Each structure stands twice: as structure tokens, then as C-alpha cells.
Amino acid sequence: MKNLFFSTVVASSLMDCVQSGHLQQSDLDAINRVLDSYHLAAANGEWDTYFDLMSEDSVFIGTDARKRWGKSEFRQYSSGSNG
């Protein structure tokens, strides 16, 4: 569910940019490749790849919007998970 919400927000924002002419198709394709890689890494528990795709100031929002983790906190939390 969290991936669906995140993807929906990102897709909506990107579509606004595409419609306003701020993004080229090649930009959108590159963004989609990153998001696909991000979701695949999470599903497979490939944490090095997953966290390498996040910026250092990333914030992960859990299924409860009050659950927020910075990158290092979330990395520690998820390190015991298989995906």
C-alpha cells in the first residue's frame, strides 16, 4: 500500500511537469527506471541498492503517516527484513 501511495504521488507530480513541458520523455523514462529499481530492490530485500537510491535527507513515511524515519533510521529498522 505504501508503495502504491508513493508511486501515485510521484506519478501525479511528474505528469504535471510533463503536461507543463518541464520534462522530456527521456527524463520521465529515467525517473521510471529509478522508481522501478527502488521498488524491485525493496521487494527483494536488496538493501544496499534500495538505500543507494535514496538521498541522504530522505524521509520514509510508514503506513501510518506519523511513522517517519530518516534514511539512517530506516536503514537500521529494515536491515533485519527480507523484503
pLDDT in tens, 28-57: 999 999 999 999 998 998 999 999 999 999
- Predicted local distance difference test score (pLDDT) of residue 78: 81
- Predicted local distance difference test score (pLDDT) of residue 28: 92
- Predicted local distance difference test score (pLDDT) of residue 50: 93
**Rg of the chain on CA atoms, in Å:** 14
pTM for the model stands at: 0.64
- Predicted local distance difference test score (pLDDT) of residue 14: 60
Task: Tell me the C-alpha distance between 17 and 14, whole Å.
Answer: 5
Three-state secondary structure readout of 10-57: HHHHHHHHHHCCCCCHHHHHHHHHHHHHHHHHHHHCCHHHHHHCCCCC
Write the pLDDT tens digit of every residue in 3-36: 555 555 566 666 666 566 678 889 999 999 999 9
